[in-house]
Copies of this chain bind each other. A is one copy, B any other.
Amino acid sequence: MNKKKISIAVIKRLPRYYRYLYDLLKLGITRISSKELSERMNITASQIRQDLNCFGGFGQQGYGYNVESLFNEISNILGVNETFHTIIVGAGHMGQALANYGNFEKRGFKVVGIFDVNPAVVGTAINGIEVLHIDKLDEFIKQNKVDIGILTVPYDQTPAVADRLARLGVKGLWNFSPMDLELEHDVVIENVHLSDSLMVLGYKLNEMRNRNKSKN
């Protein structure tokens, strides 16, 4: 396939297509028009056609999209059928929650190691995986394939731990500290901003209340 460079905006929508197509497959729906998909996903049909065109475009005039082949293609692009080995650095509440979240493993993200400094958790097992002291990080990464480091360490320590992982050759970082982590190294980073999402919710709530007040 002659691959065009896919823009980051399209990439960010791919998991959403993945989810909707997965649901359609479960419902036994074998084909869907961009119009129907558009109504379900609350995206314009032209946006959908444009997005899906970026990686080949399976839509056929008068037929629509074949749900299964589109789902498979998006799964391949996202690498869902591969296994990414991940380690979690920071076995606090969030680290533990992520270690126990089965959905990630279903998507190909397998937790192979968990690290912390807290003597209360080092040596315990989370979801069957022993928590190792962070002093063992270097050795572990040298001896095991590690694709992604999940950072659930305290805010102040995040840049240093991220830098350490990158120097050890970990190429993907999933950061949970409320900062836009950036590194000099050749790594890819996804920042999860839970507080940002909550603040947007607070804003929308106030805005709705003000709107309702001015109506009355």
Q: Give the interface of A toward B (CB within 8 A).
A: 11-12, 14-16, 18-19, 41-42, 77-80, 82, 84, 92-94, 96-97, 100-101, 103-104, 107-109, 147-148, 171-174, 178-180, 182, 186, 188-190, 192-206, 208-209, 212
| CB of A45, distance to nearest CB on chain B (Å) | 17
Given known A93-B100, A94-B97, A171-B209, contact A201–B188 (CB-CB < 8 A): yes
- Chain B residues contacting A82 (CB-CB under 8 Å) are 202, 206
Asked whether A202 lies within 8 Å of B109 as measured between CB atoms, the reply is yes
Q: Which 7 A-B pairs have the closest CB atoms?
A: A15-B196, A97-B97, A93-B97, A188-B204, A190-B201, A172-B205, A93-B100
Asked whether B204 lies within 8 Å of A11 as measured between CB atoms, the reply is yes
Of B18, B147, B194, B202, which is within 8 A of A199 by CB? B18
Asked whether B93 lies within 8 Å of A180 as measured between CB atoms, the reply is no
Chain copies in complex: 2
Asked whether B188 lies within 8 Å of A174 as measured between CB atoms, the reply is no
Given known A97-B97, A196-B15, A197-B174, contact A84–B180 (CB-CB < 8 A): no
Cα of A175 to Cα of B209 in the assembled complex, Å: 20
Cα of A212 to Cα of B84 in the assembled complex, Å: 18
Instruction: Name the residue among A18, A79, A80, A198 with the largest chain B CB count within 10 angstroms.
Output: A198
Of B172, B195, B208, which is within 8 A of A204 by CB? B172
Cα of A195 to Cα of B92 in the assembled complex, Å: 20
Asked whether A109 lies within 8 Å of B198 as measured between CB atoms, the reply is yes
Of B19, B93, B199, which is within 8 A of A179 by CB? B19
Instruction: Name the residue among A42, A179, A203, A208 with the largest chain B CB count within 10 angstroms.
Output: A203
Asked whether B94 lies within 8 Å of A15 as measured between CB atoms, the reply is no
Asked whether A147 lies within 8 Å of B190 as measured between CB atoms, the reply is no
Given known A96-B93, A192-B194, contact A201–B178 (CB-CB < 8 A): no
Can you report 21 residue pairs joining A to B where beta carbons are below 8 Å apart? A11-B200, A12-B200, A16-B180, A19-B196, A79-B202, A79-B203, A82-B206, A84-B202, A93-B100, A97-B97, A101-B194, A103-B195, A104-B195, A107-B195, A107-B198, A109-B198, A109-B202, A147-B205, A186-B208, A188-B208, A192-B194
